[in-house]
Amino acid sequence: MRLLLDANLSPRGLARPLRASGRNVRALAEEAALEGLDDPEVLALAAQEGRILVTRNSRDFAPLLREWAEAGRSHAGAILIWTLDHSQFAAIVAGVERLLALRPEHERWRDICLAL
């Protein structure tokens, strides 16, 4: 499963354990060249690379995902973290893994947005 962690999520706290469980994770916070991407660019990058976007920036991404749906634009899926603090690493990893287990085939994530 290919994931893109938004810049607001810790590579050490989240990317490492997800990678250890066999996930292909790209973390924006690990790549200086991607620093400062605005939200539409982040979603476009995730879609282009076929990665499920994982973000705590739900307030901005929920309307953006709705705009994409209304425009008929496709993405590889999204997990919006609403209730967990960015420092609750174990809970976020467990939640992401639980959601991924519900849809273990990557293609079943196309244009789906689930919340934690």
pTM above 0.85, yes or no: yes
What is the DSSP annotation of 60-105?
HHHHHHHHHHHHT---S-EEE--SS-TT-HHHHHHHHHHHHHHS-S
Alpha-carbon distance of 67 to 65, in angstroms, equals 5
Q: Among candidates 36, 38, 30, which has minimal Cα distance to 4? A: 30
> Per-domain residue ranges for the chain?
2-115
Q: Which fold has domain 2-115?
A: Rossmann fold (3.40.50)
Alpha-carbon distance of 55 to 29, in angstroms, equals 12
Contact assessment for residue 92 and residue 14, using Cβ atoms and an 8 Å cutoff:
yes
pLDDT over 70 percentage in the chain = 100
For 40-47, what is the mean pLDDT? 98
Q: How far is CA 79 from CA 25, 32, 33, 97, 104, in A?
A: 14, 23, 24, 11, 14
Contact assessment for residue 84 and residue 55, using Cβ atoms and an 8 Å cutoff:
no
The per-residue pLDDT for range 65-89, each reduced to its tens digit, is 999 999 999 999 999 999 888 789 9
As a whole number, the mean pLDDT across the chain is 96
